[in-house]
Structure 1
Amino acid sequence: MQQLITVTEAEQIIQSHLLPISRTEAVSLTEAGGRYLKQAIRADRPLPPFDRVMMDGIAIRHSAHQLGKRHFSIAATQAAGDTPVKLTDKVTCIEVMTGGVLPEGCDCVIPVEEITVSQNEATVRVGYSPLKGQHIHRRGSDTAEGAILVETGQCLQSPELTIAASCGVTEPTVAALPNITLISTGDELVAPEQIPGPHQIRRSHATALRCSIAAEKLGHVSEQHLADDPAQLETALKAALKTSDLLVLTGGVSRGKYDFVAPVLQQLLGKPKFHGIAQRPGKPMAFWAAPHHPPVFALPGNPVSVMACAARYLFPALRQILGGSSSHVDSLPTHGTFNCPPQFTGLIPCRLLNGTLELVPPSNSGNFLSMAGTHGIAEVPGKLTRTNLENHLTRFYPWG
């Protein structure tokens, strides 16, 4: 490993070597949630497209009430979706419904709570003083035709999808999902469906990574497991480097006799941009970025290390290449204690409860059982090790 760098330095190096996904595809609105927009959504007409009634009640000419009139015969009813009717005189009113077009000739809406209706006549409550223009959502007051409503690079969630639908954008253009090759290594690992021998364990972190990436719509994952064999690893990496947008390896990146990932990758891509971060867990993590090759994230093999490094670096990187910029990270008040070398940064599993983080430190980086019910990691300075934290603000990175 190289000299250890800080988590901030590792983040900056990764961010500086990521290129946005250039491929795009059109998807239906029903499939667009969580995808990253690659077109600006513009208003196809002024919004609202007409003077819109904002309250159930009656529409009048305001000047009539100013002259003292309180009783109005109901000349017609204007429901939402009806073509607009016209008020022909000051002595009558139009019954209106929320969302409907303001009748022609009206400039004031009086809410139903302020009137009584009897024998087709509406009477305005004594003492109530309506204002001209009240409860009317004027045409174009929200936006003009052609205005950009959603910028490119935005992750499409329900508010953005609502806007897209309102503008008739039924198949938005989004960033194509990157092709991710996930390679796990280790002779001790067998598939989850297999019965392990007494000297083996089932591999689990590949499942966790696949689930997180799929749930957040961050990429298409192809997975393979390799034995601790440098020739086999070299063959697989050469193929993956040609077909992938990004590679993720787990295990084989430390200094052990059978840790072949770093030597083989260095043979293929040259020296890593970094190999070793002053963090716990996940110190041996490495990152490669070579011209004309996809970026490579080499994560340690222990399950807690894999998930901590993925939350801190991999998932933000995928969002960056999809959205074109780094994503915002929340800082939240944190409670609890943890153990970490003071010169390191702790990446501590935590629960998010009512806007605060509760630290759930595992006993070691192989004890993934304690992660059940957690929501991500808190990035805590090592100088706070063994301190009882009370509302200390820390950065939060979710599991995906």
Structure 2
Amino acid sequence: MIEKKTPGMGTLALHAGHVPDSETGSRAVPIYQTTSYMFRDSEHAAKLFAIEELGNIYTRLMNPTTDVLEKRVAALESGVAGLAHSSGQAAITNAILNIAGAGDNIVSAAQLYGGTYTLFKYTFKKLGIEVRFADAEDPSSFEPLIDDKTKAIYGDTVGNPKLNIFPFEEVAALCEKYKVPMIIDNTAASPAVCRPLELGAHIVVNSLTKYLGGHGTSIGGIVVDGGNFDWGCGRFPEFTNPDPSYHGMVFWDAFQAFPPAGGANIAYIMKMRLQWLRDTGNCPSPFNSFLQIQGIETLHLRMERHCSNAQKVAEFLKGHPDVSWVNYPGLPDSPHHAAAGKYFEKGMCGGLLGFGLKGGKAAGAKFIDSLKVFSHVANIGDAKSLAIHPATTTHQQLTEEQQISTGVTPDFVRLSVGIEDIEDLLADLDQALKA
């Protein structure tokens, strides 16, 4: 007999969170393009609003198409529940606001996506939330920043664009010691390459715009709850005190072992849905959720090609006379090569790489303008190959010192390697370098 086992990544990507529509038999996930939903009767409506029964009320809070998306990504990330947002930036914002307020702080790796760094450095400061930056390449730099007001440790699985790999093991030990959750942005890796919840993280954020959606058609973000943190530990009174905005609900009492979720701890994600999504309204469009589901169905196949192509591009650039350096975790001389082998799926090191041109900033501009197959856009994770000069675009708002801390130098070009034929990608890079 064949022993039953947990479904693999490819099966989950195609089936998790959905069964064919019972009324029509639709095999594809339908687009429920509606604002609201009929209640069976007054008692049904009252139970839904009291969370005595789960169901659809209003698309700002939930939607059947988006529900499949949330369940599917949660399954891919080995989590218990997900909450989709209108953008990755909205997901990151709510992931922090759900547990931190004025007077609190979080400790974050400095090696972040530029938009996240700006949010943490400037916007959260306006809300009274302090973000203290540690060096993810020096795990010992995190602990001195933690105090009794610290509500989370945050980092990117892969620093974008520095391509360092987060020190999961060391930070997981700190989270256990100080009873704080680890929140990880897994966008630059995707769950096909790395699953932070299996490495000690408690919350995972993904930009659905990138590898999960995969086709550059729709903006979105998602927060996945690992169900593996004790929100009743005493550091998070907002989970153990009554919520006056929701008829005195105590989230930890109501959702630490929620029967409709199979007894899982979904307190974090339900608090986010019932407070932050309700009040800030940054929900996704059902049509965007549908498009992202289509992308996820081929995630496991695309990521194999992204990673394979990126490895070959890195090796090609490494030997090119006009290139001064190459940064890619798949190269044996990369300082992050060992960590990639430890934390990533075998043989997969992601689709992002960086390199420096010997001609510096001016050569970088000429190179970008000479590309024909690679597209010059401010995005990553598209099926199409992309290129950008971060110092003058995505990281332009940062000071030179801040740019250097995130891995951005004047000569630096970032590539998001797509799934085209590798011979065409190498030929395009070669002709642009010669130009």
TM band (smaller chain):
under 0.3
* Greater per-residue helix proportion: 2
| TM-score, normalisation: structure 2 | 0.26
| TM-score, normalisation: structure 1 | 0.28
* Greater per-residue strand proportion: 1
The structure number with the bigger radius of gyration is 1
